[in-house]
Every structure is written in C-alpha cells, then in structure tokens.
Amino acid sequence: MARHLITSALPYINGIKHLGNLVGSQLPADLYARYLRAREHEVMFICATDEHGTPAELAAAKTGEAVADYCARMHAEQSALAAGFGLSFDHYGRSSSDRNRVLTQHFAGKLADNGYIAEVSEKQVYSVDDGRFLPDRYIEGTCPNCGYDKARGDQCENCTKQLDPTDLINPRSAISGSTNLEVRETKHLYLRQSALKGQISDWIDSKTDWPILTTSIARKWLDDGEGLQDRGITRDLHWGVPVKRGDQPWPGMEGKVFYVWFDAPIEYIAATAEWADAHGQPDSAWRRWWRRDEGAEDVTYTQFMGKDNVPFHTLSFPATLIGSGEPWRMVDYIKSFNYLTYDGGQFSTSQGRGVFMDHALEILPADYWRWWLLSHAPESGDSEFTWDNFQQSVNKDLADVLGNFVSRITKFCRSKFGETVPQGGDYGPEETALIEALTARIRAYEALMAATEIRKSAAELRAIWVLGNEYLQSAAPWSTHKTDPEKAAMQVRLGLNLIRLYAVLSAPFIPFAADAMLAAMQTDDRAWPDDVAAALTALPPGHAFAVPDVLFAKISDDQRAEWEDRFKGVRT
C-alpha cells in the first residue's frame, strides 16, 4: 500500500466559488483521492480556505462584518458546498489558523537565518484620511488604458492591463473613497528567490513527467526577461499573520503582516497539522506526511491547481521549503489546468459571471456536474461550458448509457425472476468475450487514472458502461427467456453484477450515484475488480436487490432554455 499526499489549490474566501474554480483544482483532486482510496492506498487529501489579503478585508467591509467573522462564515459556507459536491477532504482547514501562523513565522525565521530574506525600502501610496498604507487592491481609479473608472491599483478588470497604483487617474482609497493620498517610503521583507534560482531550476529540470503546461509556465518565470525575481512577502495590512522571526519580534516590521501568497501554501502543512489536532493525534501523525526525516520519504505528493497558481507552486513555495534548509516533502507532480470558460467569456467571482457552486446544486444533484466537469476538464486547452453540451452529455452518457442499463436489467429481473439474483445457466462465448473486453478496458482505465489523465479516464469509463449496454442488447434476455429461461437467468445475473462493478468503478466520478447503485444491489462490497471474472460473481444467486429510482433524469429542452436564461453570466 502506497502513501499519497494530495493538495488542491486553496479557494479564496471572498464569496462562493464558480464551476471554473471547482474543476481547476478541488474536483480533479477529489477524483484522484477517491480512486487511490478505492485501490486501498493510504491517502491524505488536504485543502483549506485562503483567508488573508486585501480581497478578504474588502469583502468583509462590503458586508459590514469584522473580517474574522466574515471569514468564519464563508469558511462554513464553502465547507458545506464542498460536502454537497462530495469533495472527500481528510481535512478542510483555514489559513487563518494558529497552526498556520506558527508555521509561517517559523519559515520566515529559518529563511532569515539562512540569508534568504532582505529588507527593502520602497515607495507606496499612503492614505492620510485612513491613516495607513494602501496595498494595490485598496486603491481604485480610472484606467489610463480604457477609461474604466473602477480599475484597481494592480490591474484593470475591464481591459486586464497590469497597472501600478501611480498609473491610475484620479486615484482614491477603496476603503473610504478619500483622494487625500501621498506616496511615502516604507520597508518590506523580500524573499530572495534569485539566490535560490539554481536549486529551483535543477529541481524543475528533474521533473521530466510533469505536464507541459506546468513546466512551460515555470520555465517562463525562471528564464524570461530578467529571470526569477525576489518577491515581497509582507504587506501593510491589519488582517494576516503578524510579521515575526519565529516567535520573536521583527524590528521595523511592527504592524505588518505576511503577504497572502507567502502564508497560503504553508497552510497545506498547517491543515495537515489541524487534521492531527482534530483527531487527537500527536505531531508525529502529520509530520510523517511532510518531513522526510520523519517518515515522508516514501510519500508521493501530488498538487492540483489552475494554471494561474503554477508560478507560486513551482517557484515561490519551493523557494520557501528549500530556503528553510529543513527536510520538507517537496511536491512530486503538479497537475495544472487551463480555464473553463462560460458563454464565450471567463468565469469571474468578482464580476459574478457564470454558474456558481450554490446555484448548481440548487438545480441538479452534484453528480450531474461532477460528470460533465471532469469529462470536459480543461487539460490540453481551455474548455467552454455551454448548456447545450451539458444537456447532451448528461442525457447521452448518464441517462441513456448508465442509467438506462441499471433500469432495464433490474426491472426485467423483477418481472421475470423476482427481486433476487436468479440462478442457473453457464457462460458462453459472448460472456467470455465481454469479460475479456471489460478486463482490457478496466486495465486501461486504471492506467489513465493513475496518470491523472482526467478526460481520457472519463471516456474509458463511459466505454466500460457501453460494453454492458451492448451485451444486454445482443444477449436480449427478454427474448432468450421465452425459449431458454436458464440462459436468461445467467444473463440477468451477469447484468446485476455489472451494476455493482459499475458502481465501484464509477465512484470516483459520480460517488452519490455509485452509492445508490450499491444500495439497490443491497451490498457494500466495494472490492476493486483485480479479477473481473471473479468480480462478476460478487452477487450470488439468491442475493436480494431492489429496483432503484431513476438514476439520472434527462434534462429537457425547456429546462435547458430556462437555465440558459437564468445564468446569462450575472449572478443574482
């Protein structure tokens, strides 16, 4: 049994996440975790809400809540939605946790001890009326490029141009609206990534199996322009991890906090420690996943994320781990994704564009969304969500192929043999051929899942479902029963066992439907089909079953039209 550490990029705390966020990290990570558990590997699947930084403060200000209260409320909402989508985290933590505070300060102290932290004087915008320095996102004004009057100090959301606060026309504080702004000098801490470039470059070069998307982004940041740059790791904010050197004050850094992108990845480690705390485990329980000198040497660590997060996970977080000089577990494989677009544009939390997780669960069960998103995962390029494609995929794959198979075989058996698995009959050439074809397909499915080839795995799983339908159509037990009831009994028995087999194989993709299939077969036998022929005898003659409710209802044209109109890109 192998040990697998899995992390998905931390969803930001400011609001409900959309389907693009879901398919870009958490959902494929869950698929992989569920598959590995089904193969009886030891899995630690970690995620958390990313709670620091300016967007959290601004979002809280809009609701009138204290930022800590806002983050606590949104963590609860995001946790509930994650459960609603069946995301099987071992722990869903918070980057505002005490564990993360202690670990972040620990890493900063180690980096400073090793010479990888520099104090840099720089000029920033200061709001006289607010009495504070304003980070980029706390400054709004008119974009000099397109004239948009709500551009932020780091980027214009309208034209996407990268900006500096001093570029804005008529800049104002996003906190108070004050235009009484000055440019003042302040000091910040920088992580000397440039001093670690050689070690990071060698490490990336050793990852020959990484997706091209991952390595190309990492190489672009390493080699383009002036190469890997030192990065500021502190901000003038009230909400965040206080700047300390270990547990000691950091002279000159009073009132500052660590930059969110410094402390957020450290939360992967902290959340694992939170898991240990929640289960009454000692520190050794989480350190065996993260410290190579305490048992993590045999751990395989896989990260899942959207392509926008790749630079931080291939450069900045590795720089933190390497620069600490401590034997932390480095990531083995980074599975990165392109974007899922909606109606010809980007999903956007800030602009409320697209289908969001709460609305998705309001209109359909989670497995409908899980199947479409995973079978259309944006791996080799961007994917586009359209309601027409969603309707076709649900109706053809889930309703016509899988759902129809389950319905036909259970209803026919009930009508001819009752609600128990029938006995009698022996396999013939057709059944032998089916077992051979299933075996080949399942072995291919296993290889694709192990390689995190998400779309190809979904296609292979669908092909496995199709084999059962083709067999049922060819064997036609409803006709065979008229002349050879014994043979029909064998065909039906094989079909009922296929339902259990399909539940086991499909559980990583559609866990709720898989549970319903197993419940209908009145079994909790989830043994993986290492021997397909043996797996097809798991439900013996006389075993009771029930005809399940409709596994997947088809999406009507009227429903599709209604949802197209409701979700035109603006969240209501």
Contacts of residue 447, defined as CB under 8 A and 6 or more positions apart, other chains included, come to none
Q: Which two tokens stand for residue 138?
A: 């706390």
Rounded to whole angstroms, the Cα distance separating 9 from 154 reads 22
Q: Which two tokens stand for residue 363?
A: 């209109």
**Which residue is associated with the tokens 């672009």?**
220
Rounded to whole angstroms, the Cα distance separating 275 from 272 reads 5
**Amino acid at position 253, single letter:** M
**How far lies 84's CA from each of 81, 298, 362, 433, 528, in Å?**
5, 33, 10, 40, 25
Rounded to whole angstroms, the Cα distance separating 182 from 426 reads 87
DSSP annotation of 153 = S
**Which residue, among 243, 238, 235, 285, has the nearest Cα to 101 in the 3D structure?**
243
Count of C-beta atoms within a 10 Å radius of residue 304: 27
Residue 47, marked binder:
no
Which residue spans within 442-505 are E strands per DSSP?
none
CB 37, CB 60: distance < 8 Å: no
Residue 71, marked binder:
no
Residue 523, marked binder:
no
**Amino acid at position 58, single letter:** L
Contacts of residue 441, defined as CB under 8 A and 6 or more positions apart, other chains included, come to 460, 463, 464, 467
The values of phi and psi at residue 379, to 5°, are -85, -60
**How far lies 94's CA from each of 98, 118, 318, in Å?**
9, 28, 21
Q: What is the total residue count of the chain?
A: 572
3-class SS at 537?
A: coil
**Which residue is associated with the tokens 């975790």?**
33
**How far lies 494's CA from each of 99, 142, 429, 478, 481, in Å?**
52, 68, 14, 14, 15
**How far lies 47's CA from each of 7, 268, 370, in Å?**
6, 7, 18
Which residue spans within 259-318 are E strands per DSSP?
299-306
Rounded to whole angstroms, the Cα distance separating 291 from 267 reads 15
Q: Cα 220 to the chain's mean position, in Å?
A: 24
Burial class (CB in 10 A: 0-12, 13-18, 19+), 478: middle
In DSSP terms, which residues pair with 191 in a beta bridge? Answer: 117, 231
What residues are designated binding site?
A: 143, 146, 156, 159, 349
What residues are designated binding site for Zn(2+)?
A: 143, 146, 156, 159
What residues are designated binding site for ATP?
A: 349
